[in-house]
């Protein structure tokens, strides 16, 4: 499975994120739609912001958002 951390590593290494068909199938079976992806993204960013505290920055927020968006796109493409 591909996590946000894996997505960030893939983006850094190759400029793209690839999710396998199994991950796409699970999300498809669970009817994960764009609205659900947005909710999870917002929750992830807010949770990390709280955990990181004073070290949180706009750049870190953007990096997490970009990695998550790339992962979400890869999952949707694997449906």
CATH number for the domain that contains residue 43: 1.10.490.10
Structure tokens belonging to residue 44: 């992830």
pLDDT at 1: 61
pLDDT by residue (tens digit) across 2-57? 677 787 788 888 888 888 888 889 999 999 999 999 999 999 999 999 999 999 99
Structure tokens belonging to residue 12: 């850094």
What is the number of structural domains in the chain? 1
This prediction's pTM:
0.80
Cα distance from N-terminal residue to C-terminal residue, the chain: 14
Token pair 């796409």: residue = 24
Domain assignment of residue 72, given as a range: 4-77
CB-side neighbour CA atoms (13 Å) of 67: 20
Residues listed for the chain: 79
pLDDT at 19: 82
Instruction: Return phi, psi of residue 74, to 5°.
Output: -65, -40
């Amino acid at each position: 499975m591909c996590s946000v951390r894996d997505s960030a590593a893939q983006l850094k290494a190759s400029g793209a994120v690839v999710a396998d068909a199994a991950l796409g199938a699970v999300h498809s079976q669970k009817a994960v739609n764009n609205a659900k992806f947005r909710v999870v993204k917002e929750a992830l960013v807010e949770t990390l912001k709280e955990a990181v505290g004073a070290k949180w920055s706009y750049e870190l927020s953007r990096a997490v958002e970009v990695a998550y968006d790339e992962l979400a796109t890869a999952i949707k493409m694997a449906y």
